[in-house]
């Protein structure tokens, strides 16, 4: 299996790369810094290939798709993990919309563009999977105040997940949104659970069987309310 993971140089993304490689898969560990991608690949070992990819860059996304097409001719798994701006300092009532817009470039348009570019290669896979790493902060059922840029962009990512799951169901592409839970990373801060616990649910969605769910929102393999 060939998997591409965004934001693979640290946090949950790096652990997802490590776990997928440990399962024997080929992993394209992508990062916006080539040095950071190279360092993470060295640490992880296995069949892990570094690739420079800033998800906000149209050129990078096109170049990544071209590289995958040339080297492998297909892609089995896309993990949209990269995200920014857990804006605990803001409220919706007074949010800086430039901050919201910037967050959307990475958290929404990045995954969206990447899916569009990689879809022809995913269609070449016998078992294509798209995993959008989301957050319970995007649950409308549980929506409260605060973290406006983060929450709204993840809500939109969840909507995209449902839309694409419906559109691609006939092609066998399983598309799901996964909350990793509160995880002790640079974004999550201290006190969260270990990265392995957060990554496990992402790896679960990346390796679903053909009769697995699509268009769902899950944490630890169990459904979350939208």
Residues at the contact surface with ligand NAP, assessed by CB under 6 A:
6-7, 9-13, 31-33, 36, 54-56, 81-84, 106, 133, 135, 179-180, 182-183, 185-188, 192
Q: Select 11 or 128, whichever has its Cβ closest to ligand NAP.
A: 11
Q: Select 56 or 90, whichever has its Cβ closest to ligand NAP.
A: 56
Q: Select 58 or 171, whichever has its Cβ closest to ligand NAP.
A: 58
Question: Is 150 designated active site?
Answer: yes
Task: Find the shortest distance in angstroms from Cβ 30 to ligand NAP.
Answer: 7
Q: Select 145 or 170, whichever has its Cβ closest to ligand NAP.
A: 145
Task: Find the shortest distance in angstroms from Cβ 112 to ligand NAP.
Answer: 13
Q: Select 108 or 174, whichever has its Cβ closest to ligand NAP.
A: 108
Rg of the chain over Cα atoms, rounded to whole angstroms, equals 16
Alpha-carbon distance values, 44 to 21, 40, 153, 186, 204 (Å):
8, 6, 31, 19, 19
The residues assigned a catalytic role are 150
């Amino acid at each position: 299996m060939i998997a591409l993971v965004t934001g693979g140089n640290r946090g949950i993304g790096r652990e997802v790369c490590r776990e997928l490689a440990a399962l024997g898969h080929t992993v394209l560990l992508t990062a916006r810094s080539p040095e950071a991608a190279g360092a993470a690949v060295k640490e992880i070992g296995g069949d892990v290939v570094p690739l420079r990819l800033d998800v906000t860059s149209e050129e990078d996304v096109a170049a990544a798709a071209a590289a995958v097409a040339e080297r492998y001719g297909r892609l089995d798994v896309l993990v949209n993990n990269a995200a920014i701006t857990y804006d605990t300092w803001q409220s919706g009532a007074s949010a800086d919309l430039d901050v919201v817009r910037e967050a959307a470039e990475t958290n929404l348009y990045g995954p969206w563009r990447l899916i569009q570019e990689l879809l022809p290669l995913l269609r070449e896979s016998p078992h294509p999977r798209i995993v959008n790493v989301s957050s319970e902060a995007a649950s409308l059922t549980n929506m409260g105040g605060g973290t406006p840029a983060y929450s709204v962009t993840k809500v939109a990512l969840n909507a995209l997940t449902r839309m694409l799951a419906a559109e691609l169901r006939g092609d066998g592409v399983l598309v799901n949104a996964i909350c990793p839970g509160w995880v002790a990373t640079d974004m999550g801060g201290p006190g969260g659970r270990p990265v392995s616990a957060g990554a496990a649910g992402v790896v679960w969605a990346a390796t679903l069987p053909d009769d697995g769910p699509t268009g769902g929102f899950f944490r630890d393999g169990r459904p979350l309310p939208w």
